[in-house]
C-alpha cells in the first residue's frame, strides 16, 4: 500500500508532513508513503528528521511537484493554472496507479477539484462530497456533507447517505449504520423543504434510516451517519470547533479564579488535554472525499504530524477495504429497490 | 411594569413558575408578575412557597386559564382548539393592556402562533422570528432566527438583522452592533444561494455589516448579531447544547481515570459548574420573539426558577426600552436608504 502525501499543503510547512510520513511508516505495517513536493528540499528534510532511521527512510519516497496551491487560491482556477501543484500531482499518482490514495492538508476546495478532474466521479454519483467523523460519547459519528455542496437537492442527500454508510460500516465495523437526517425536530414532517423531500427517499431505501435527528443528537452517539447539505455540515463542524475552543478557554478562566481551582487545574491538566484531543477531529484521521473514483483524504490546515499519520492510516484502510466498490454496489442496490417500489 | 408568566408551560410544573415569579419581584424593583394558569392551584402554591413574605405576595397576581398546550401539540391547531390555554391567555393580557409582556417556557411554536394571532406583526415585518443570546468569550452574541422560519428569502434575513440589531443595541448597550451573515467562508461570494442574495441587502443597509462570519466566529465574541435562517439557527443552538453537555461528560470521564485528576475535579467542581452556567443559554434570559406587536419571551422547557426570573427581567427591559418602536424606526430608515440607493 502506497499513500501519497501532499507535503506542502498544511499551514506549518513540509516538516510536519515529513514527521507525519515517518510516523506512519514506523507504526503501520507494510505501508509506504510518497511525499509530493519540491524534491531537493524534501530529501534534505527527510534526511535531517529521520535521524538515521534507515528502515523508515526505505519506506518514504519523494515525488517532485514544483507548485503550491494556497488557502487563498480559488480552487477550480488554481488547479487549471498550477498543473504541477502538489495536490494535483498527488491525485495524478493515484490515477496512474503509482499511489493507492492521497492525503492533503491544503485548500480543501482545490483537493476536491483536483480529485474530480484527475479521477472523475464514481458511476451514478452526481455530487461527490466530504465526510467527517465527529467525536461523541460513544463511537464517532460520520457527518456528510461538510462543505463541498452548499445547495443540494434531495437526491444528493440520499447519495451522501449511501456513501457515508458504505464508508462508516467498513471503517468502524458497523453492520447496519443508523442513518439520521439532520433537522430541527425528530417528528416526520419537521424540517425545511429539502429535509421533507429527502425523508421519503431515505425511508424507502434499504438503509437503516432512524428518521430525523437534531443538532443535540450528533454528540450523543446514538446515530452513526448524519446526512445534511454542505452548508449546514460546514457550520456544524466549525461551530463545534469554535465552541470546543471557547469552552476550554472559559473553563481555564474559571479555574484561575481561586487557588483551589488553580490547584485542581494543575492536577487535571493531563485529563483536559486528553479531552481536547478527543474533540479534535484531526485525531479521527481527516475527512474522506467520497464519490470520486479513487481515495482521497483532506485534513485541517493546522494538522500536526500525528493527525497526518492518522489520516494516512485511514486512507490506507479505505483503499484496503475498497470503499468505492461498496458505494457503487449499495447505490445500485438502492436504485433497484426504488424501481421495485415504484 | 407587569409581566405575565405562563405558569404551566415548563416541563417541571407550576412550582418552578411560582418560584420564578417570587424571585423576580424580590430582585427587580417596581415589577409585578401575573401567573397565568389554574387559579386555585396557583394561589395555593403561591401561599405555600412564599412562606409568609407579604411584600412579595403583594406583587404576584394570578390570572385564570384552564387549558394547557403540551410540547406534543401541533402549534397552530392547539391555539385554535385551546382558547383558554395559559399561553393564549398570556398574550391576550398583553393585547388588552393588562400586561406589558409574556414569558413562557412552553411549546415555542405555540407561543409564536399565539403571539401572532393575538398581537399581530409589527408594520412592515413579513416574518416574526426568535432571537437568542449565545455565550462567547466576550459579550453575548444575538443569533436570529433560531427556529421560527425554516425556509427563508433574503428579505426575511435582512429583517432579522434589523430586528436583532434593535434588540441587541438596547439590551446590551451596543451603539452600532456588528452584524455578521452566517456562512461557510468569510469571503464575499462564499455561501449558499440565500446567503449570496442576502449579502448585498445587508451591505447596502445602514447596519454595521461586517460581512460573512463562520460557525467558529459565533463563540469568539467579535460579532454582536449573527443572521441566519431558522433551520440553521436551530441546528446551531441544539448542536451547541449537545456539544456542551457531551464535553462536560467527556471531561468528567477523563477526570475519573486517575486519582490526581479525581482530586483536581473535587477542587475545581465549583469552577466547572460556573462554566456550565455560563454556556447555559437559559441564564441569558430566554429567547425574545421579535417582529410581533408586543413583547414575548420564550424559555427552554427545562428552565429553572432562576432562568424564568432572568427571562422576566429581560421581558421588562424590552418593554421598558420599547424595542418594537426601535424596530419599526430602523426598518423605515433602511427602507428609505434602499429607495435612495435605487
Higher-pLDDT residue of A249 and A222 is A222
pLDDT at B53 over 80: yes
User: Do B250 and A184 count as a contact with CB atoms less than 8 A apart?
Assistant: no
Query: Which of B235, B246, B267 lies at the smallest CB-CB distance from A184?
Result: B235
Same domain, yes or no, for B169 and B46?
Answer: no
Same domain, yes or no, for B175 and B270?
Answer: yes
Give the pLDDT confidence score for residue B244 in this predicted structure: 80
pLDDT at B281 over 70: no
Query: Which of A215, A231, A242 lies at the smallest CB-CB distance from B238?
Result: A215
Same domain, yes or no, for B100 and B158?
Answer: no
Same domain, yes or no, for A275 and A309?
Answer: no
Same domain, yes or no, for B251 and B141?
Answer: yes
Give the pLDDT confidence score for residue B256 in this predicted structure: 75
| Domain extent at residue A215 | 130-280
Same domain, yes or no, for B197 and B79?
Answer: no
Chains A and B form CB pairs within 8 A to the count of 197
Give the list of residues 6+ apart from residue A4 with CB closer than 8 angstroms, or none.
A33, A34, A36, A63, A90, A93, A94, A98, A99, A101, A102, A103
User: Do B271 and A251 count as a contact with CB atoms less than 8 A apart?
Assistant: yes
CA proximity to A128, closest of A107, A110, A113, A106: A113
C-alpha cell of residue A250: 472559559
C-alpha cell of residue A265: 487545574
| Spatial distance between the Cα atoms of A33 and A42, rounded to a whole number of angstroms | 13
Query: Which of B150, B220, B244 lies at the smallest CB-CB distance from A242?
Result: B220
* B67–A contact, CB cutoff 8 A: no
* B213–A contact, CB cutoff 8 A: no
Please identify among residues 156-185 of chain A the ones whose CB lies closer than 8 Å to any CB of chain B. 182-184
User: Do A235 and B242 count as a contact with CB atoms less than 8 A apart?
Assistant: no
pLDDT at B175 over 70: yes
Q: Is residue B328, in this structure, part of any structural domain at all?
A: no
Give the pLDDT confidence score for residue A273 in this predicted structure: 73
Listed range (A10-19, B253-262, B320-329) with the worst mean pLDDT:
B253-262
C-alpha cell of residue A87: 495536490
**Mean per-residue pLDDT over chain A, rounded:** 91
* A243–B contact, CB cutoff 8 A: yes
Q: What is the mean pLDDT of residues B266-276?
A: 71
Query: How many domains in chain A?
Result: 2
Share of residues in chain A with pLDDT > 70 (%): 95
| Spatial distance between the Cα atoms of B205 and A122, rounded to a whole number of angstroms | 45
Query: For the segment B101-129, what is each residue's pLDDT rounded down to a tens digit?
Result: 999 999 999 999 999 999 999 999 999 99
User: Do B241 and A215 count as a contact with CB atoms less than 8 A apart?
Assistant: yes
Query: For the segment A231-248, what is each residue's pLDDT rounded down to a tens digit?
Result: 999 999 988 888 888 877
Query: Which of B217, B229, B266 lies at the smallest CB-CB distance from A242?
Result: B217
Give the pLDDT confidence score for residue B282 in this predicted structure: 54
* B145 preceded by a cis bond (ω within 30 of 0): yes
DSSP string, B5-45: EETT-STT-HHHHHHHHHHHHHHSTT-EEEEEE-HHHHHHH
Same domain, yes or no, for B107 and B156?
Answer: no
Q: Is residue A241, in this structure, part of any structural domain at all?
A: yes
Closest Cα in chain A, distance from residue B28 (Å): 28
Query: Which of A192, A230, A272 lies at the smallest CB-CB distance from B251?
Result: A272
* B58–A contact, CB cutoff 8 A: no
With H, G, I as helix, E, B as strand and everything else as coil, classify residue A293: coil
Give the pLDDT confidence score for residue B273 in this predicted structure: 73
Q: Are strands B141-144 and B129-134 parallel, antiparallel or unpaired?
A: antiparallel
Same domain, yes or no, for B149 and B259?
Answer: yes
| Spatial distance between the Cα atoms of A202 and A155, rounded to a whole number of angstroms | 10
CA proximity to B255, closest of A274, A45, A251, A312: A274
Q: Is residue A22, in this structure, part of any structural domain at all?
A: yes
With H, G, I as helix, E, B as strand and everything else as coil, classify residue B72: coil
| Spatial distance between the Cα atoms of A127 and A149, rounded to a whole number of angstroms | 8
Same domain, yes or no, for B118 and B138?
Answer: no
Burial classification of residue A336, based on how many CB atoms lie within 10 Å of its CB (0-12 exposed, 13-18 middle, 19 or more buried): exposed
User: Do A268 and B255 count as a contact with CB atoms less than 8 A apart?
Assistant: yes
Same domain, yes or no, for B233 and B254?
Answer: yes
| Spatial distance between the Cα atoms of B170 and A204, rounded to a whole number of angstroms | 50
Give the pLDDT confidence score for residue A256 in this predicted structure: 75
CATH number for the domain that contains residue B207: 3.40.718.10
Q: Is residue A14, in this structure, part of any structural domain at all?
A: yes
| Spatial distance between the Cα atoms of B7 and B13, rounded to a whole number of angstroms | 8
Q: Is residue B139, in this structure, part of any structural domain at all?
A: yes
DSSP string, A18-71: HHHHHHHHHHSTT-EEEEEE-HHHHHHHHHHHHTT-HHHHTTEEEEE--B---T
Closest Cα in chain B, distance from residue A38 (Å): 30
Please identify among residues 133-152 of chain B the ones whose CB lies closer than 8 Å to any CB of chain A. 135-137, 147, 150-151
- Residue B241 has a CB neighbour count (10 Å cut-off) of 19
**Mean per-residue pLDDT over chain B, rounded:** 91
| Spatial distance between the Cα atoms of A99 and A122, rounded to a whole number of angstroms | 18
Share of residues in chain B with pLDDT > 70 (%): 95
Give the pLDDT confidence score for residue A267 in this predicted structure: 73
Q: Is residue B43, in this structure, part of any structural domain at all?
A: yes
| Spatial distance between the Cα atoms of B170 and B71, rounded to a whole number of angstroms | 32
CA proximity to A319, closest of A159, A103, A117: A103
Q: How far is CA A143 from CA A340, B117, B208, in A?
A: 29, 39, 34
With H, G, I as helix, E, B as strand and everything else as coil, classify residue B288: strand
Query: Which of B137, B250, B275 lies at the smallest CB-CB distance from A254?
Result: B275
Q: What is the mean pLDDT of residues A160-180?
A: 94
Q: Are B36 and B43 in contact (CB under 8 A)?
A: no
Closest Cα in chain A, distance from residue B155 (Å): 18
CA proximity to B226, closest of A265, A235, A274: A235
Query: For the segment A91-130, what is each residue's pLDDT rounded down to a tens digit?
Result: 999 999 999 999 999 999 999 999 999 999 999 999 999 9
Query: For the segment B197-215, what is each residue's pLDDT rounded down to a tens digit?
Result: 999 999 999 999 999 999 9
Q: Is residue B13, in this structure, part of any structural domain at all?
A: yes
* B76–A contact, CB cutoff 8 A: no
Closest Cα in chain A, distance from residue B193 (Å): 7
Same domain, yes or no, for B276 and B136?
Answer: yes
Same domain, yes or no, for B70 and B178?
Answer: no
* A77–B contact, CB cutoff 8 A: no
C-alpha cell of residue A282: 484531526
Please identify among residues 247-266 of chain B the ones whose CB lies closer than 8 Å to any CB of chain A. 247, 249-251, 254-255, 257-258, 260-261, 263-266
Closest Cα in chain A, distance from residue B270 (Å): 8
User: Do A266 and B264 count as a contact with CB atoms less than 8 A apart?
Assistant: yes
Q: Is residue A135, in this structure, part of any structural domain at all?
A: yes
* A71–B contact, CB cutoff 8 A: no
Query: For the segment B7-26, what is each residue's pLDDT rounded down to a tens digit?
Result: 999 888 899 999 999 999 99
Q: What is the ipTM of this complex?
A: 0.88
Amino acid at each position: 500500500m502506497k499513500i501519497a502525501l501532499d507535503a506542502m499543503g498544511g499551514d506549518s510547512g513540509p516538516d510536519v508532513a515529513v514527521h507525519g510520513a515517518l510516523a506512519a511508516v514506523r507504526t503501520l505495517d507494510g505501508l509506504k508513503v510518497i511525499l509530493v513536493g519540491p524534491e531537493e528540499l524534501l530529501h534534505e528534510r527527510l534526511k535531517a528528521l529521520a535521524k538515521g532511521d534507515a528502515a523508515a527512510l526505505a519506506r518514504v519516497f519523494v515525488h517532485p511537484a514544483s507548485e503550491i496551491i494556497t488557502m487563498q487560491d480559488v480552487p477550480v482556477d488554481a488547479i487549471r493554472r498550477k498543473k504541477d501543484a502538489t495536490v494535483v500531482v498527488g491525485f495524478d499518482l493515484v490515477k496512474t496507479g503509482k499511489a493507492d490514495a492521497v492525503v492533503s492538508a491544503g485548500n480543501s476546495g482545490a483537493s476536491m477539484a483536483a480529485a474530480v478532474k484527475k479521477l472523475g466521479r464514481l458511476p451514478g454519483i452526481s455530487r461527490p462530497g466530504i465526510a467527517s467523523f465527529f467525536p461523541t460519547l460513544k463511537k464517532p459519528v460520520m457527518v456528510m456533507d461538510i462543505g463541498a455542496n452548499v445547495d443540494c437537492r434531495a437526491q444528493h442527500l440520499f447519495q451522501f447517505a449511501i456513501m457515508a454508510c458504505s464508508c462508516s460500516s467498513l471503517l468502524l465495523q458497523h453492520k447496519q449504520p443508523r442513518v439520521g437526517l439532520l433537522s430541527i425536530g425528530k417528528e416526520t414532517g419537521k424540517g425545511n423543504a429539502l429535509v421533507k423531500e429527502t425523508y421519503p427517499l431515505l425511508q424507502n431505501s434499504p438503509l437503516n434510516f432512524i428518521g430525523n435527528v437534531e443538532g443535540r443528537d450528533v454528540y450523543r452517539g446514538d446515530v452513526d451517519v448524519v446526512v445534511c447539505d454542505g452548508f449546514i455540515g460546514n457550520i456544524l463542524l466549525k461551530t463545534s470547533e469554535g465552541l470546543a475552543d471557547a469552552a476550554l478557554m472559559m473553563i481555564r478562566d474559571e479555574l484561575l479564579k481561586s487557588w483551589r481551582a488553580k490547584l485542581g487545574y494543575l492536577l487535571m491538566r493531563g485529563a483536559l488535554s486528553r479531552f481536547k484531543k478527543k474533540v479534535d477531529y484531526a485525531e479521527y484521521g481527516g475527512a474522506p472525499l467520497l464519490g470520486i473514483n479513487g481515495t482521497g483524504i483532506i485534513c485541517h490546515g493546522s494538522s500536526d504530524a500525528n493527525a497526518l499519520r492518522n489520516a494516512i492510516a485511514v486512507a490506507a484502510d479505505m483503499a484496503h477495504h475498497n470503499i468505492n466498490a461498496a458505494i457503487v454496489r449499495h447505490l445500485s442496490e438502492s436504485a433497484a429497490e426504488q424501481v421495485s417500489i415504484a
